[in-house]
Chains A and B, each alone.
Chain A
């Protein structure tokens, strides 16, 4: 049982006109096995929250705390956070020329586990996971994210989620840009990881569509750098009907 606890988190980015505050006090607790959906309009700071938890150097934490099972996440380097059990499926996965998917996966797995995986079971696990995500085996020999379609990039992120077996996963708009078939496959992949490892999930999305496939236990509405309303799945249904307008007027008022 793990707990990711975010308290009073404020984050700014450096702009030409000096620092700009983007997160304005985020409080959120995610336990193992729970799925929290974070929904909000574009530009509200959802990716900023995801990147800040993962430790992206562009974002400066100006206040608050993030802990994983009581350990200070903010004091850790990016790779330490990953080894502590945090995983971020990125909205825009990065190309790494000349590094094959298979080499990348093995290197990451070795780093996370602290030892190289047993070759035979590893090859089998990779094949199985790729098969579940309907990924062509030839994919393993392509360079990381190079020339991948939008859907391939997202499947590749979920492939990593399945193989690296983190405690907490943040999925940043994993659903955007996917057609309905791909969305179903990717969602199955997430659900399977949840079943197998009691994963805690922070599911960031702009749309309610993915929530038909991945059941959220909690829904948080994110506007202007903070959570403005929280509820259960029914809140997502309301957002589906009403959109974010109600919250936007609140935020600007």
Chain B
């Protein structure tokens, strides 16, 4: 799809994405390296943000109510479907940390981890699950402040899909720590189908095992404020991580997705693709995609992509890719970011085949999301996602389309 630059895009996004890149590391380095960001289980290391901090500047912190305070007042209702061999248990927080989890990287995650007991989902080594693990997390009361920490541990050569389906209303801060064993294949799907008033701040980390495949797929449609940070680090060479996201923001919604892929190990891959649609004059989305290729991460291959489709006037999407490269010995590294409206030519082509304008627009939006929806490994969730997007589209009063395009696309490659 051809997209035009959104005029409301922040300056740094435009410069980060619009610069002509070479494969020299210097072109990518932002003011402060992502490696220097605080990562800790100690609440005292993270003051309550004011909203001016780099990692909070897009987030409406005033709407977060007491969620950044420690001390939970309730829990979510957990409804689980566990395939045979999979267990769910609790363990003391100290024991959980001893498993070698990635530490929280912001205030929301550290308060989520500030709990006495952690829930542990265990998928045994060599288990090949034919059915997904389903965990429905339901909030019954917006006044409840909930902090939860879930550890998902998959043994070596395990193959599993885990679905976290979020529903209802709550103020919810969440830390999910995924540990994938060597040569395992784990997909975590996180569906945010909250009521319109829910607040959800999440950090989903994965420590990806040697030769392991990891996929994180987020589907964010509901909630007043959702901020989901999906992070990846590698425990050994040969890891392959894919982070995918679909979001659809209406008026009054702030949907923020961040990812940080820390290429700390040689010969690993990462592929990040987030696509969003926005409608309604106060709809707001943010995507920040950080990738760091450390000096030791030779042979890295990484790509980050974000596309936003603005369906009505007034909606605003921010899109900020950051790529830091500390070694020249990589397979490839690149990113692309584009935010725009409908493409006139596509609409003309479809209409010239008799398809009315509104239907043509729906077809284009459906097509826009199709490559990610296709990757959802659960047929029922794929259908649910498609139906939910159709439902969103049914209420849209579309913005004018445009023919001008300005897509940024960068790719650097280096053979060694």
Contact = CB atoms under 8 A, between A and B. Distances in A.
Interface of A: 54-58, 77-79, 81-83, 87-88, 90, 93-99, 103-104, 107-108, 111-112, 143-144, 160, 164
Given A97-B1, A98-B371, A99-B364, A112 B354 contact: yes
Interface class of chain B by DSSP? helix
B403 interface: yes
B11 to A, nearest CB: 27
A93 B366 CA distance: 20
Contact of A57 (B344, B349, B356, B364): B344
Contacts of B366: 98-99
Contacts of A104: 350, 353, 363
Nearest to B371: A98
Contacts of A160: 353
B412 interface: no
Contacts of B348: 54, 56-57, 78, 94
Contact of B355 (A56, A87, A90, A111): A111
Given A97-B1, A98-B366, A98-B367, A78 B351 contact: yes
Given A77-B351, A108-B355, A98 B346 contact: no
Question: Ordered nearest first, which 10 A-B pairs have the shortest CB separation?
Answer: A98-B367, A98-B370, A82-B354, A108-B353, A78-B351, A94-B349, A111-B354, A99-B367, A112-B354, A79-B351
B371 A107 contact: no
A193 B348 CA distance: 24
Interface class of chain A by DSSP? mixed
Interface string B365-377: 0111111000000
A98 B369 contact: yes
A111 B363 CA distance: 13
Contacts of B356: 79, 111
16 contacts: A54-B352, A58-B344, A79-B351, A82-B351, A82-B354, A83-B354, A87-B352, A90-B352, A96-B367, A97-B370, A98-B370, A99-B363, A107-B355, A108-B350, A108-B353, A160-B353
B349 A96 contact: yes
A55 B344 CA distance: 12
A164 B355 CA distance: 12
B399 interface: no
A96 B346 contact: yes
B26 interface: no
A128 B247 CA distance: 40
Contacts, number: 83
A174 to B, nearest CB: 15
Given A79-B351, A96-B346, A160-B353, A58 B367 contact: no
B354 A77 contact: no
Given A77-B357, A97-B370, A107-B363, 15 more contacts: A54-B352, A58-B344, A78-B352, A79-B360, A87-B352, A88-B352, A96-B349, A96-B350, A99-B370, A103-B363, A104-B353, A107-B355, A107-B359, A111-B359, A143-B367
A246 B1 CA distance: 43
A79 B357 contact: yes
B369 A94 contact: no
A97 B351 contact: no
> Most chain-B CB neighbours within 10 Å: which of A82, A98, A104, A143?
A98
A126 B404 CA distance: 35
Interface string B149-172: 000000000000000000000000
Nearest to B1: A97
Nearest to B403: A58
A159 to B, nearest CB: 12
Nearest to B367: A98
A49 B120 CA distance: 68
Contacts of A103: 363
Contacts of B355: 79, 107-108, 111
Nearest to B365: A98
A5 B311 CA distance: 38
Contacts of B357: 77, 79
A9 to B, nearest CB: 18
A181 to B, nearest CB: 26
Contact of B367 (A55, A78, A97, A108): A97
> Most chain-B CB neighbours within 10 Å: which of A57, A94, A95?
A94
B48 interface: no
B88 interface: no
A212 to B, nearest CB: 28
B403 A94 contact: no
A121 B236 CA distance: 55
Given A96-B367, A98-B366, A108 B349 contact: no
A94 B345 contact: yes
Contacts of A77: 351, 357
A87 B349 CA distance: 11
A88 B369 CA distance: 28
